[in-house]
Chains A and B, each alone.
Chain A
């Protein structure tokens, strides 16, 4: 752990990520204004002492909206990563452990989903399901579980033939018990790395969908949606585009750094597989 903390990327990643989580949790305490209260008389006002990041096109405090925007990003991020990893781990473990038809069907589905560009599929799904926070989560889970399933299947195939698993089976352990007690603990490290890097990817995708008008709907503050409205006032009020953009960048950079450091700590072999 000490060695890990000396790793610059890991430490700065950890600091940025902790900051992101704290900001998201404590947004109501940190924000000086209600993110949805409008003061149209002062719309597009540049940063000042009372409003450090300025006011948006409806006169709302940009800092408060950036702080509350972290909540949306993390809510989507964690929901998608947890759901996608649970589904992916279950299906991947089944495919690897049972083989045969189960494996063929699950892997053909992952082939198709992997061949389909991820963000395009998410756009397509949200377009037909309708733009909303839940549909964004659903779409990102549908494209997100595939990576976990592939990873777990590969690892399970390796572990399945190892002596301790064969021994557990010989002693009469049933398949679910063998998978959960003996196989999964051996594949958990690469999953943690994938989940950390995946969180960054999901935050980016949510912001992208919201930027395209397909994600979180107004007035809920979301970094992507804030950028969309900021784009309309480029040249007039640049702060509307700069600050949400910086927030996305810092959040994603923090998680990428953290993931990168975790690779070295938990699973150096994974770097080659990435």
Chain B
């Protein structure tokens, strides 16, 4: 296992560098003179020079790159133009909100997908299986920015059960944003669990177990389900990474004070150090989650480690 972890960690290093390089290059992609764009077209020349200096844009490119990497490795992601504080201050405040949203969505997705997927696999071709299929197709085609407003209309305006936006009412505030993100994921997972379990149920070891006198319920839950869950676990972990990026849109719909909203607010105020830092943190969390899901795959399916 240790060897497997080390191998995967080594594979992650060039990707992390690639992401750092991409994020570093962003500021250089700004059309025209980045310093003028950041300071504003009507800024005084001395302000433009100040911006150029503060971002190190007056240095040669390689020296900017080396300095960026060394600063990032030291945990220094730069200063926000808006607050003049370290960009990490805002990120630290917003990170828990995004995580909370992602966990909420995952919880909802699992709570729907597990029973629905298992029932559809057991009763293939039944009305509940067909219902699950329709739910899955609608779920993957319904973007969060179309579903979110519908949920707000029904649950927050027509029936005032949940707040329209914000994060001030604790768990109540969490329900609608989590549902918005979780339903699409529930659709994907339901199909996955259904297909995976239906495949396992046709395997000979299940027939053998039943032939030897094991009850059908036991054969399903004690034998087939365990094997069926192997691919599902990885997908769950991988999808957690997608939830982090999906949160950018959901946070905007519900004015949820997370990292995604911070990113969009910084884009609109042209606070580029904050933009770069938010992107970097979301991307690094994403690849870390993917890395963790790979490890998890190795743990639940010993064959993977051997490959």
| Genuine A/B complex | yes
Residues of A within 8 A of B (CB): 9, 108, 111-112, 115-121, 123-125, 127-130, 200, 204, 207-208, 211-214, 224, 227, 230-231, 234-235, 238, 241-242, 244-246, 248-249, 252-253, 256-257
Tell me which of B18, B149, B286 contacts A112 (CB under 8 A). B18
Residues of B within 8 A of A (CB): 14-15, 18-19, 22-23, 26-27, 29-31, 137-138, 140-143, 145-147, 149-150, 152-153, 157, 164, 241-242, 244-245, 248-249, 252-253, 263-264, 267-268, 272, 275, 279, 282-283, 286-287, 290
Cα–Cα, bound, A212→B275 (Å) = 15
Cα–Cα, bound, A119→B253 (Å) = 16
Cα–Cα, bound, A121→B22 (Å) = 9
Q: Which residue among A116, A124, A214, A249 has the maximum number of chain B CB atoms within 10 Å of its CB? A: A124
Q: A204-B143, A208-B143, A213-B268 are in contact. List 15 more A-B contacts (CB 8 A).
A: A111-B14, A117-B282, A117-B283, A123-B264, A127-B26, A129-B29, A212-B252, A214-B267, A227-B149, A234-B153, A241-B153, A245-B145, A245-B150, A246-B146, A257-B137
Q: Are B245 and A256 in contact (CB under 8 A)?
A: no
Cα–Cα, bound, A211→B14 (Å) = 33
Cα–Cα, bound, A51→B103 (Å) = 43
Beyond A115-B19, A227-B146, A253-B141, is A211–B249 a contact (Cβ under 8 Å)? yes
Chain A to chain B contacts (Cβ below 8 Å), 6 pairs: A117-B283, A120-B283, A213-B264, A227-B145, A245-B150, A253-B141
Cα–Cα, bound, A271→B283 (Å) = 29
Tell me which of A115, A120, A230, A253 contacts B282 (CB under 8 A). A120
Beyond A212-B252, A213-B268, A235-B153, is A120–B279 a contact (Cβ under 8 Å)? yes
10 tightest A-B CB contacts, nearest first = A245-B146, A112-B18, A253-B141, A241-B149, A117-B245, A235-B157, A127-B267, A252-B141, A115-B15, A211-B145
Where chain A touches its partner, the secondary structure class is helix
Chain A residues lying within 8 Å of B142, measured Cβ to Cβ, are 249
Cα–Cα, bound, A208→B260 (Å) = 13
Beyond A111-B18, A227-B146, is A123–B287 a contact (Cβ under 8 Å)? no
Cα–Cα, bound, A121→B263 (Å) = 12
Q: Are A111 and B15 in contact (CB under 8 A)?
A: yes
The tally of CB-CB contacts under 8 A between chains A and B is 127
Beyond A111-B15, A112-B22, is A230–B149 a contact (Cβ under 8 Å)? yes
Tell me which of A231, A234, A249 contacts B143 (CB under 8 A). A249
Beyond A117-B283, A234-B157, A253-B138, is A128–B30 a contact (Cβ under 8 Å)? yes
Beyond A214-B267, A234-B153, A241-B153, is A127–B19 a contact (Cβ under 8 Å)? no
Q: Are B18 and A108 in contact (CB under 8 A)?
A: yes
Beyond A115-B18, A117-B286, is A130–B149 a contact (Cβ under 8 Å)? no
Q: Are B263 and A123 in contact (CB under 8 A)?
A: yes
Tell me the minimal C-beta distance from A107 to chain B in angstroms: 11
Chain B residues lying within 8 Å of A128, measured Cβ to Cβ, are 26-27, 29-30, 272
Tell me the minimal C-beta distance from A271 to chain B in angstroms: 10
Chain B residues lying within 8 Å of A121, measured Cβ to Cβ, are 22
> In this complex, what residue of B is CB-closest to A256?
B141
Cα–Cα, bound, A214→B27 (Å) = 17
